[in-house]
């Protein structure tokens, strides 16, 4: 199996966790994606850029961030294998990116441009269902994260992240995990000891 076939196989396995596709349907789906490799620390896009694609991660680790006016970086999310990521507001609305997406590791993705996204939704309702399911799960996760900042202390947020995504603690520098959890690096070190 070559590089592209391996990536497409991962995409098909991911999709078929929610909807079954015939070989013909998957060929149609795969025709809308392009494979790309990025190096560690490389940006897929930065604040102010156009956001042309949504990215499906087949290997590696991405980080979505927002840089505020004083220049402080805030970590919004991490995306590892089998996850989708982009600045969805910019991607779907055609405005400039309000966030930046970069690689924490060498990363391989399948890129889906907006025209491909719309074509899949219009012509293959199974994919429209998949994207709706993914969007709903994303909304739920975002709401749960907001609630955790309102109702949980730093220790509880740390324990929840550790329980849900233990591999992040081996893959992500503590400074970035601290930003994601809304705590200082020192607080994270105390929580993890």
Residue 79 lies in a domain: yes
Q: Are 79 and 85 in contact (CB under 8 A)?
A: yes
In a domain, 162, yes or no: no
Note down the domain range covering 84. Answer: 3-151
Burial class (CB in 10 A: 0-12, 13-18, 19+), 103: buried
Kindly state whether residue 133 falls inside one of the protein's structural domains: yes
Distance in angstroms (rounded) separating the CA atoms of residues 150 and 2: 47
Question: What is the reported pLDDT for 82?
Answer: 95
| Exposure on the CB side of residue 134, measured as CA atoms within 13 A | 21
Residue 182 in domain: no
Q: What is the overall mean pLDDT for the chain?
A: 94
Query: Does 136 fall in a domain?
Result: yes
Residue 92 pLDDT: 96
User: What's the CATH number where 99 sits?
Assistant: 2.60.120.10
C-alpha dihedral, 48 to 54 to 60 to 61, nearest 10°? 50
The number of folded domains in the chain is 1
Predicted pLDDT of residue 187: 85
Which of the residues in the chain have pLDDT under 50? none
Within a domain: 159: no
Helix (H, G, I), strand (E, B) or coil at 51: coil
- Provide the whole-model pTM: 0.93
Whether 39 is covered by a domain: the verdict is yes
For residue 186, the model assigns a pLDDT of 87
What's the pLDDT at 70? 86
Which residues make Cβ contacts (< 8 Å) with residue 57, sequence separation at least 6?
79, 80, 81, 82, 83, 84, 85, 107, 108, 109
What is the distance between the alpha carbons of residues 149 and 76, in angstroms, rounded to a whole number? 13
Q: Is residue 101 part of a domain?
A: yes
pLDDT at 184: 85
């Amino acid at each position: 199996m070559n590089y592209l076939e391996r990536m497409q196989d991962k995409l098909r396995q991911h999709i078929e966790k929610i909807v079954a596709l015939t070989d013909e349907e998957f060929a149609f789906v795969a025709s809308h994606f392009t494979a790309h490799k990025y190096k560690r620390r490389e940006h897929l896009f930065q604040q102010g850029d156009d956001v042309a694609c949504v990215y499906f991660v087949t290997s590696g680790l991405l980080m979505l961030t927002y840089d505020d006016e004083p220049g402080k970086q805030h970590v919004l999310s991490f995306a590892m294998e089998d996850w989708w990521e982009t600045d969805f507001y910019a991607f779907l609305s055609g405005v400039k990116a309000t966030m930046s997406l970069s690689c924490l590791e060498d990363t391989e993705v399948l890129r889906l441009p907006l025209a491909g996204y719309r074509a899949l939704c219009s012509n293959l309702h199974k994919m429209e269902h998949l994207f709706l399911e993914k969007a709903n799960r994303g909304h739920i996760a975002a709401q749960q994260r907001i609630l955790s900042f309102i109702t949980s202390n730093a220790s509880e947020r740390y324990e929840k992240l550790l329980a849900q995504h233990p591999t992040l603690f081996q893959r992500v520098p503590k400074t970035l995990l601290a930003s994601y959890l809304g705590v200082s690096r020192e607080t994270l070190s105390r929580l993890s000891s």
